[in-house]
Structure 1
Amino acid sequence: MTFSIVGRCPETGQLGIAISSSSIAVGARCPWLRAGVGAVSTQNITLPALGPQILDLLEAGLAPAVALDKALGSNGYGQYRQVTVIDSHGGTAHFSGSEALGINNARAGEQCVAAGNLLANMGVIDAMVEAFEHAHGSLAARLLAAMSAAMAAGGEAGPVHSAALSVVSDLVWPMVDLRVDWAENDPIGELGKLWCAYEPQLQDYITRALDPTAAPGYGVPGEK
């Protein structure tokens, strides 16, 4: 049903998530990030509340594994959940309940955690971690490289239809928040196209927000 990777860039401190699912609009339910705190993906039979709850616990100073256990224990039905966590220091935790769907797997790597369920094979998650660890460039690019590696390794047992990419830095809003809510074919490829279009404009949007007097032109009809 879903596979994802949460990751951190040790040079910039950015935190990010890339995720894809056979379900519609996975980006609306599963990825949760907070600048300077951490990133959480809550998937399988999704309980969106786990994301902000775990982030609150991380912000209060709990370690990822402790925060994850506490949130799972306070909500019940943990056997149906699959959750990954990374904090602002690169600490990680993951959980896959006994009722996680189909072939499921989770693995922590260097500054990342990948997990999935209803996978084509167990090696999909290994491919994600290894691709992230060996990729170069921005955190967003490395997360997308991991998603492409997952698909090359078999991806889900069935077709995927939605995908999302989110990255936070030191701002209170995401610096990247891109979604493909439904595509009949290749939502990860469509997400990659969105990133290629957005990346050259990313800093412009930050500048416009922080200092409108220094903002570049908008490039739209009627602009003065």
Structure 2
Amino acid sequence: MKILSFLAVFCCTAVFSQSGNPEIMKDAFAHTYSIVARDAETGEMAVGVQSHWFSVGSIVSWGKSGVGVVATQSFVNPAYGPQGLELMEQGKNPSEALGILLAQDEGKEYRQVAFLDTSGNTAAHTGENCVEAADHISGENYSVQANMMLNATIVPAMQKAFLENAKLPLAERVLKVLQAAEAAGGDLRGSQSAAIIVVGPEKVKNPWEEKKIDLRVDDHEQPLAELERLLKVARAYEFMNRGDLAMEENNIEKALEEYGNAMKLFPENLEMQYWTAVALANSGRMDEAKPIFEAIFKEDENWKEMTRRLPSAGLLNIPPQELLNLIK
């Protein structure tokens, strides 16, 4: 694989020298496959990407709630991300926004870019000098694109996976598309990094609310397997967060339901078990809570110290003697 990567860079360097575009070599060499997509039910928008390149998610995937998403790859011009989003926010549709940026880019024939807006409109560009196999397919609510692929079946396989998994949540649907690309042959050089971002259909007030999901695998032997694991963990913690909100509202039964859902996804996680035990204790169900506490303490005694500290913070409401008996 290292030899292939070296030869690819060497050959491209020769091409650029002959074509008078040496500046392109300064751009990140993120040949890859990606999808921009929208969920017709929720309005959420996403970018999913995988490449044999370090930290591909940091340069390829861009999104803004209430505006749209962008994937910029091949010899990456990162400006397509923020500038494309700005143009769409100003009212340009994806075709207009992409056309404006391509007209300003002397290296456009080395670019591969896809835009998607809140209405599900898409626009994509695959430059003539993108390394084969390179192609894109765009439709309502999605665009799939790839370059430097092992074969020409990969982009159609991505489209098929997107259309066949419409019932899945958007992030899981995007993951299926990436997995389909890999199963069809994937990047000629192999795999290294992957990412998924999801943004909402409405604009947000605070920057920390911008992304509903923001997962990156920067360097891994099996980036899609790791991305799948992280997505599962992220879903588990969504349940945990809802459980915490229910606890704040003193809705113990709701908290137990949410914590239980989290544990189903991530049963080996001690923290998820722990807060379930706390919710049980706070609802007066100490007989159910105690065995869970004891199993956790056996794994890691630091949780005893955590338990000692909770009453003063108002998070564990049991009699003092019962607390002593629990952590002795």
Does the alignment reach a TM-score above 0.5? yes
Report the Cα offset of residue 110 of structure 1: 3.7
- TM-score (normalised: structure 1): 0.91
- Structure having greater relative contact order (Cα 8 Å, sep ≥ 6): 1
1:193 paired residue among 229, 253, 261: 229
Once the two structures are overlaid, the 10-residue window that deviates more, 71-80 or 123-132, is 71-80
1:141 paired residue among 166, 172, 185: 172
Once the two structures are overlaid, the 10-residue window that deviates more, 143-152 or 100-109, is 100-109
Q: Which runs of 4+ in 1 moved over 2 A?
A: 202-208, 210-224
What residue is the counterpart of 2:238 in the other structure?
202
- TM-score (normalised: structure 2): 0.63
1:142-186, Cα deviation, whole Å (9 max, x unpaired): 000101111111111121100001101144420100010001x22
* Aligned ranges 1:119-134 → 2 under 5 Å: 119-134=149-164
| Structure 2 counterpart of 1:8, one-letter code | R
RMSD between aligned residues: 2.3
**Whole-angstrom CA distance in 1 between matches of 2:97 and 2:131:** 23
**Whole-angstrom CA distance in 1 between matches of 2:41 and 2:239:** 18
Matched, 1:16 2:46: yes
**Whole-angstrom CA distance in 2 between matches of 1:113 and 1:204:** 33
| Structure 2 counterpart of 1:177, one-letter code | D
Instruction: Judging by fraction of residues, say which structure has more strand.
Output: 1
Unmatched runs of 5 consecutive residues or more in structure 2: 1-30, 260-270, 275-302, 311-328
Unmatched runs of 5 consecutive residues or more in structure 1: none
What residue is the counterpart of 1:43 in the other structure?
73
| Structure 2 counterpart of 1:173, one-letter code | E
Task: Give yes or no for contact 1:110–1:133 (8 Å, CA) kept in 2.
Answer: no
| Structure 2 counterpart of 1:142, one-letter code | R
Residues 214, 104 of structure 1: CA spacing in aligned structure 2 closer, same or farther, 3 A cutoff?
A: farther
1:16-39, Cα deviation, whole Å (9 max, x unpaired): 011001000001101000111111
Residues 46, 138 of structure 1: CA spacing in aligned structure 2 closer, same or farther, 3 A cutoff?
A: same
Match of 2:185, SS state, is coil
Task: Give yes or no for contact 2:38–2:170 (8 Å, CA) kept in 1.
Answer: yes
Report the Cα offset of residue 88 of structure 1: 0.4
Report the Cα offset of residue 203 of structure 1: 5.4
1:81 paired residue among 99, 108, 111: 111
Task: Give yes or no for contact 1:175–1:206 (8 Å, CA) kept in 2.
Answer: no
Report the Cα offset of residue 120 of structure 1: 1.1
Task: Give yes or no for contact 2:48–2:178 (8 Å, CA) kept in 1.
Answer: yes
* Paired positions, count: 222
